[in-house]
Amino acid sequence: MALKLPIFMDSQSTTPVDPRVLEAMIPYFTHKFGHPASRNHPFGWEAEAAVDRARGAVAGLIGARDPKELVFTSGGTESINLALKGVAEMYREKGNHIVTTIIEQRAGLDVCKRLERQGLEVTYVPVGADGLVDPETLRAALTDKTILISVMLANNEIGTVQDAAAIGKLAKEKGIVFHTDATQAVGKVPVDVEAMGIDLLSCTSHMLYGPKGVGALYVRRKNPRVRLAPMIDGGGHERGMRSGTVPVPLTVGFAAAAEICREVMPEESRRLAGLGDRLRDAFLSKIDEAYLNGHPERRLPHNLNISFAYVEGESVLMGLNKEVALSSGSACTSATLEPSYVISALGVDSELAHSSIRFGLHRFSTEEEVDFVGRRTVEVVTRLREMSPLYELAKEGVDLKTIKW
């Protein structure tokens, strides 16, 4: 069967809706259209029951004990905003200090910058060359005014998966709320808020083959009970934490996606890891000075981030963009020409950071697609290097750092 072009390999930005998810959603757009807060007639009862089932399905995927700990939002960005701003306001009498990492996605970093402008103090801890944050580095950053530790579970660019359990243990020891941005991790790798000691967890539907426009924030109710100041007022929906009509069809889709992920995750992860290894080997076996970014083992199975020295990442994308959908960084920052701040945080120099490409596999990726992308990427990188005087000088043994331009 002929390949259908272009091939989608940007699954860290979004994922296609699984047909089974769409099928589950359709009735709630048509004859099951009630408002879940309308509790005096069957239409409302039916909608409320669907939302309750959805809450339970998402709770089950992340190991939450009580479905009521899930607050539905419009997506991951809102969930992160509600977590960070909600804690900052609710716990301001206890302290004004937040600890996070320098490789959080923009939704987290930009909220922290806003909170700093409002008078809070934020410490941005570094990560190692593999993208992992050392829990002892976090410990050293804590003060008696620290009210929140926020560390993303899996990075959206390099795929490194953090040791959430160690961070959760530290947070519990110090009596500090622990939030994790798990938008990339949920549905892809096992997540257990109880075992990991997570108090707040942000996730979103469209990253696990569900619809766009709906996400969730897990808010722990016991040991400790976490309280949040709401960002949106009016109506008291979602236990007062997020007012607004809950989009029933979207929550139903979120639930269906969560249930499918919970069922297929072990097998799917193995398959995607195998495809990722196949793609990586296609690059590293045929392109010299190609480097894997992020931890080689503690990583998302579908993520591959490679730096191709002596070429511009944007040039590689331009050479492939009619055939393959890729990114040189996160969807939140790909409009800029700056090198990825995540890659730079690993200690990679600016030139190499500019050469990084992110490959994202997904549920419907095939071996044929992987082989095509591998072959075409090698061709494009080889052609660009043939036009590069820097690559030619480097191959002649010239130390480019000693050249005065």
Positions marked active-site = 332
Residue 360 has phi, psi (to 5 degrees) of -125, 110
Of 348, 308, 103, 79, nearest to 214 by C-alpha is: 79
Per-residue tokens: 355: 């050469």
Task: Label residue 236 left, alpha or beta by phi (over 0 means left) and psi (-120 to 50 means alpha).
Answer: left
Any residues with CB less than 8 A from the CB of 18 and at least 6 apart, and which? 209, 210, 256, 257, 260, 363
By three-state DSSP, how is residue 142 classified?
coil
CA distances from 323 to 253, 277, 372, 379 (A): 30, 21, 10, 13
Q: Are strands 146-150 and 177-181 parallel, antiparallel or unpaired?
A: parallel
Residues in the chain: 405
260 by Cβ neighbours in 10 Å (0-12 / 13-18 / 19+) ranks as buried
Residue 11's nearest CA partner among 379, 393, 331, 306 is 331
Which of these, 325, 275, 324, lies nearest to 303 by C-alpha position? 275
44, 34 contact by CB (below 8 A): yes
What CA–CA distance (Å, rounded) separates 48 from 79?
21
Are the CB atoms for 104 and 135 separated by under 8 Å? no
Sign of CA dihedral 95, 69, 246, 42: negative
Sheet order of strands, 356-360 included: 290-292, 303-308, 356-360
